[in-house]
Amino acid sequence: MSQKAASSTVPITVMEIEKIAKTRLPQNVYDYYACGADEQKAMHRNAYMFDKLLIRPRVMVNVSHVDTSTTVFGKRYPFPVAFAPSAMQKLCHPRGELEAAEAAASVGLSMTLSSQSTTSLEDVADACNISNRDGPDFWFQLYLTQDPEYSRELIKRAEAAGYTAIVLTVDTPILGNRINERKTPLVLPEGMHLGNYAQPKQGIKGPAIERVFLNAHTVDEANEIMKKAGPTMHSSCMTWQETIPWLHSVTNMKIILKGIMTEEDAKLAVEHGADAIVVSNHGGSIRQLDLVPATVEVLPTIADAVAGRIPVIFDGGVRRGSDVFKAIALGADLVLIGRPVLWGLSYDGKKGVEAVTNILERELSRTMTLAGVRDIKEITKDSLGVAKRDGFGISKL
């Protein structure tokens, strides 16, 4: 094969990598990752709202050197992207989370490991030597359980392994109406299990209690399931007054709240001692409540409410370096990518994930250069505009 022909087969956008991933994943696995809740209107809104934002390029600026780096919690990163928590990555690649984590470490980006990972948090920590403070910080995502003491051991394990923050998912008191999962339940293949929990006894492998609750057909049936749920079901009784103080009492790790969608909750997060927030409608997949706003359209008011007191992290539908640019312009300090990591894993494991990060970094650098922006701090709301109401002309934000 000629060099020209070979290069034409190499994907050059994240969307092209997703197309390849779709051909390689079983349909039910692809649907599990790609689909949202209910009619998936909010999922499409995420992309639609990104596309409504237009970049206002400035010229006659010396952009011979563009610096994409940023600093979060005192740690410098080559560009403002980190890996969002994504469950069960061995469904995408035999080494799953290990490949993703090794890619994150190799390019110097932070990764949040899902508590629903198919590799144990200790194995991921060991593979990447995350206790090495010269490397990127690794964080651990947590669903707090009905009995918070049940979660204490997992928190302590994460801290002992070298993770520096707990990313508490706060938007999942119950699972959203995931229609695709209800019609085609995803069952882990034989020999694969959740790495952070005790393996089910041989011959006993049923759906998690959350999945049983999801399939309830009546309110009475749901209430009966809830009564029998036990301490391991996701907590539906977290409060500002109790949950964050309790977490600070059991760990020295930073506490990041993932799932903030209003300025009211952002202010409460600051007031009650959160170290950072993630503006998120559940990883951009809208797997909880459909018909919520796109995260990019609530980001500006949330960033204004936080007013720089803690980092504002953004999550939701990022597929291009220009999307990263837009999120930073609207007040994000860091941008998470979830599905693109999964597509990269499916495409070519560690190398595929590295390809995704390289694409996004190069696109961000190019966007900054063409917009007349020399470093991350120069990306502001003035860099963006939207079409006027009558469809002609641009209004500054």
Q: Which segment of 47-51, 203-207, 338-342 scores lowest on mean pLDDT?
A: 203-207
Give the per-residue pLDDT at 79: 98
For residue 222, pLDDT over 70 is answered with: no
Catalytic residues: 282
Tell which residue, 10, 26, 6, 13, has the closest CA to residue 346. 26
Strands of the sheet containing 384-387, edge to edge, are: 54-55, 384-387, 394-396
pLDDT band at 225; cut points 50, 70, 90? low
Helix ranges, the chain (H)? 3-8, 14-24, 27-34, 41-52, 97-107, 121-128, 148-161, 179-183, 209-214, 219-227, 243-250, 263-271, 295-306, 321-329, 339-371
Residues 297/35/195/140 CA torsion (nearest 10 deg): 0
* Binding site feature residues for FMN: 85-87, 114, 141, 169, 258, 280, 315-319, 338-339
Domain count, the chain: 1
pLDDT band at 387; cut points 50, 70, 90? confident
Query: Using CA atoms, how far apart are residues 166 and 139, in angstroms rounded to an integer?
Result: 6
Q: What is the CATH number of the domain that holds 387?
A: 3.20.20.70
Residue range 264-289: average pLDDT?
A: 84
For residue 158, pLDDT over 80 is answered with: yes
Q: Are 83 and 341 in contact (CB under 8 A)?
A: yes
pTM, entire model: 0.90
Cα 115 off chain centre by = 13
- pLDDT tens-place string over residues 100-125: 999 999 999 999 999 999 999 999 99
Helix (H, G, I), strand (E, B) or coil at 215: coil
246 CB-near residues (< 8 Å, 6+ apart): 148
Which range of residues forms the domain containing residue 130? 3-396
